Structure 1
Amino acid sequence: MPNVTIFMPTEKMPPDTNLAELTDQCTQLCTEVLEAALENVHIIYVGVRHGRGNPAYAEIKYRLVPFRTQAVMAVFMERLEGIIKANTGLAARIRCFGYATQAIHARN
């Protein structure tokens, strides 16, 4: 963890070069701001049929730890918003969900 999933309209999905840059920047953001271990960062892009609201939606699931305070998450979301806009041209709604370690069961 963290898992970053970005949903955007399939027809507005940017070229692979933009997605590669977005991946690199999101990874750096997760390792620097959230202090996540590189091997725990997962980034996924999902093409969707857009219905209503912002054209992109970013959902971040992360492990609750003491240093990931509200202030840290605010910085993370502000920077993520800019990274998404710069690489896709889309405004994103961003939602972060923190999970206690004992509530996480995972493999691989």
Structure 2
Amino acid sequence: MPNVTFFISAEKMPSDENLSELTEQCTRLCTEILKAKLENVHVIYVAVCHGRGHPAFAEIKYRLEPFRTKHVMDSFMKKLDEVIKCNAGITARIRCFGYGPTEIHALN
């Protein structure tokens, strides 16, 4: 963890090159701001049939840690918003969900 999932309107899906750069920058934000280990960062893109609202939705699920304060998460979201706009040319709705260790059950 963190798991970053981008749900992007199929019509607005960026090029592979832009997605690659977005992945690198998003990974950097997770390792530098959220202090995640590289092997724990997952970035996924899902093309969706857009119905209403923003053309993209970014959902970040992360493990609660004392150092991931509101200030840290606000900084992370602000910078993530910038890299999404830069690499995808769209404004995404961004939502972060923190989970405590007793709420996480995982394999692999």
Tell me if both proteins adopt one fold, taking TM over 0.5 as the criterion. Answer: yes
Distance 1:7 1:28 in 2: 20
User: What amino acid is aligned across from residue 59 of structure 2 in structure 1?
Assistant: E
Root mean square deviation of aligned Cα: 0.5
Tell me the percent identity. Answer: 67
Question: Is residue 37 from structure 1 mapped to residue 5 from structure 2 by the alignment?
Answer: no
User: What amino acid is aligned across from residue 47 of structure 1 in structure 2?
Assistant: A
Describe the SS at the equivalent of 1:26.
Answer: helix
For residue 94 of structure 2, what is the aligned residue in structure 1?
94
For residue 104 of structure 1, what is the aligned residue in structure 2?
104
Question: Is residue 70 from structure 1 mapped to residue 78 from structure 2 by the alignment?
Answer: no
Gaps of 5+ in 2: none
Distance 1:40 1:107 in 2: 12
Describe the SS at the equivalent of 1:65.
Answer: coil
| Moved beyond 3 Å, runs of 4+ | none
Distance 1:101 1:31 in 2: 19
Paired residue total: 108
For residue 4 of structure 1, what is the aligned residue in structure 2?
4
Gaps of 5+ in 1: none
User: What amino acid is aligned across from residue 32 of structure 1 in structure 2?
Assistant: E
User: What amino acid is aligned across from residue 100 of structure 2 in structure 1?
Assistant: A
